[in-house]
């Protein structure tokens, strides 16, 4: 099917949301078992972890880890926000820099100033959005970012979004409690889909939506590491204890340019594959053989692919063996842990 579809339903008893573009699964949010990124706690500080530059905080949902110790005393209550998912056996990472994020607006308590997404380039639209921002944030010490989803959106809807996020921010910052507590719950998969997928799309709902749209079949395919590539090659994406390993092969193509073509095809699809599989941390790519002089072209393809991906990923460089290293944020649970 051509066009975009947002599919809201369940998969194996878990709330789930899927984005299909032209019949291909493009993004996926699945309900996990741990704290959801965006959750805001009032935590209570424990003792600093000497030599590690961080501290554990007690919350109603277990211990979380804050990479900061200066100015924090044991037993002190502290507002913190979940930033990602933890590796097995590790504490959930949090930050003391809170963000209040919705479909159109992000209120930033510690970063004053009114900002418009750079993706919105129309000057008249930017001026109109700034007027709304000034009107709704008058007298506030917080900062505001208006997201790219504001382009073409109804002005009153944007204003209402700003008001709601500002009110939530004011409420949380005014908190005077001292015991561990959940102050703001992170978004469910359906709420996150509304927040993040702002393109025009057909919306499908219901218990059978995943089966009828082909999403369930696409999810099951992700249980296997092998990914076919255009041109006959393939890549294998596998999670190990230490890292995510990606192996690129040319398949039956024996032409001189086969390695370069397979590697380019793999890198263009890799962000989508990592996103759908919920994989992050260290990513090591073993490309198919290609001349060393083509590394610049490979880097350009990789950087372009990562730029269009919503998950923060850093190109670290090349290893002495010619592998590619990435560092990727863990912003969702590994799919393999949820569908086993």
Query: For 52-83, what is each residue's pLDDT tens digit?
Result: 778 999 999 999 999 877 878 899 999 999 99
Q: Of 97, 112, 145, at which residue does a domain stop?
A: 97
Residue 184 lies in a domain: no
The boundaries of the domain holding residue 77 are: 40-97
Residue 182 lies in a domain: no
State whether 93 and 104 are in the same domain.
no
Q: Give helix 123-136 / helix 155-173 axis angle, nearest 10°.
A: 40
- Kind and range of the H or E element at 9? strand 4-11
Residue 264 lies in a domain: yes
The total number of structural domains in the chain stands at 4
Q: Sign of torsion, CA 20 23 26 27?
A: positive
Residue 231 lies in a domain: yes
CATH number at residue 328: 3.40.630
Instruction: For the chain, list residues with pLDDT below 50.
Output: none
pLDDT in the model for residue 340: 63
Residue in 57, 48, 141, 47 with CA at minimum distance from that of residue 93: 57
How many other C-beta atoms are found inside a 10 Å radius of the C-beta of residue 316?
A: 13
From edge to edge, which strands make up the β-sheet containing 113-116? Answer: 100-101, 105-108, 143-146, 113-116
pLDDT in the model for residue 78: 94
According to DSSP, the residues that pair with 82 across neighbouring strands are 94
pLDDT in the model for residue 73: 86
pLDDT in the model for residue 51: 67
State whether 236 and 253 are in the same domain.
yes
State whether 125 and 65 are in the same domain.
no
State whether 333 and 307 are in the same domain.
yes
Nearest-angstrom CA–CA distance, 83 and 98: 10
Residue 181 lies in a domain: no
State whether 76 and 148 are in the same domain.
no
State whether 72 and 11 are in the same domain.
no
Residue in 204, 271, 202, 199 with CA at minimum distance from that of residue 235: 271
State whether 330 and 234 are in the same domain.
yes
Residue 183 lies in a domain: no
pLDDT in the model for residue 323: 97
State whether 147 and 202 are in the same domain.
no
Long-range CB contacts for residues 261-264, cutoff 8 Å, separation at least 24: 261/231, 261/233, 262/229, 262/231, 262/233, 262/235, 262/288, 263/287, 263/288, 263/290, 263/298, 264/297, 264/298, 264/301
pLDDT in the model for residue 144: 98
């Amino acid at each position: 099917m051509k066009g975009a579809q947002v599919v809201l339903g369940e998969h194996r008893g878990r709330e789930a949301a899927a984005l299909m573009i032209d019949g291909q699964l493009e993004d996926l949010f699945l309900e996990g078992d741990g704290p959801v990124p965006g959750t805001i706690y009032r935590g209570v500080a424990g003792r600093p972890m000497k030599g590690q530059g961080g501290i554990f905080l007690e919350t109603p949902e277990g211990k979380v880890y804050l990479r900061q110790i200066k100015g924090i005393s044991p037993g002190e209550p502290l507002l913190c926000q979940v930033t990602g998912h933890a590796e097995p056996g590790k504490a959930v990472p949090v930050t003391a820099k809170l963000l209040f994020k919705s479909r159109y607006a992000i209120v930033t308590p510690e970063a004053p100033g009114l900002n418009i997404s750079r993706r919105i380039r129309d000057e008249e639209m930017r001026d109109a959005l700034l007027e709304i921002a000034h009107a709704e944030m008058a007298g506030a010490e917080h900062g505001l970012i208006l997201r790219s989803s504001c382009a073409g959106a109804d002005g009153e809807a944007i204003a209402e979004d700003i008001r709601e996020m500002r009110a939530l921010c004011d409420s949380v910052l005014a908190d005077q409690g001292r015991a561990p507590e959940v102050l703001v719950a992170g978004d469910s998969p359906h709420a996150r889909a509304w927040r993040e997928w702002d393109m025009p799309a057909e919306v499908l709902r219901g218990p059978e939506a995943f089966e009828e749209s082909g999403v369930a079949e696409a999810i099951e395919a992700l249980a296997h590491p092998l990914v076919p590539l255009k041109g006959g090659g393939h890549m294998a994406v596998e999670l190990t204890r230490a890292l995510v390993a990606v192996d690129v092969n040319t398949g039956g193509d024996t032409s001189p340019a086969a390695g370069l073509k397979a590697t380019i095809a793999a890198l263009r699809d890799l962000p989508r594959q990592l996103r759908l599989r919920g994989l992050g941390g260290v990513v090591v790519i073993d490309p198919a053989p290609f001349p060393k002089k083509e590394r610049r072209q490979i880097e350009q393809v990789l950087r372009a692919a990562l730029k269009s991906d919503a998950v923060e990923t850093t190109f670290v460089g090349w290893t002495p063996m010619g592998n590619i290293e990435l560092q990727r944020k863990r912003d969702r649970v590994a799919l393999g842990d949820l569908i086993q």
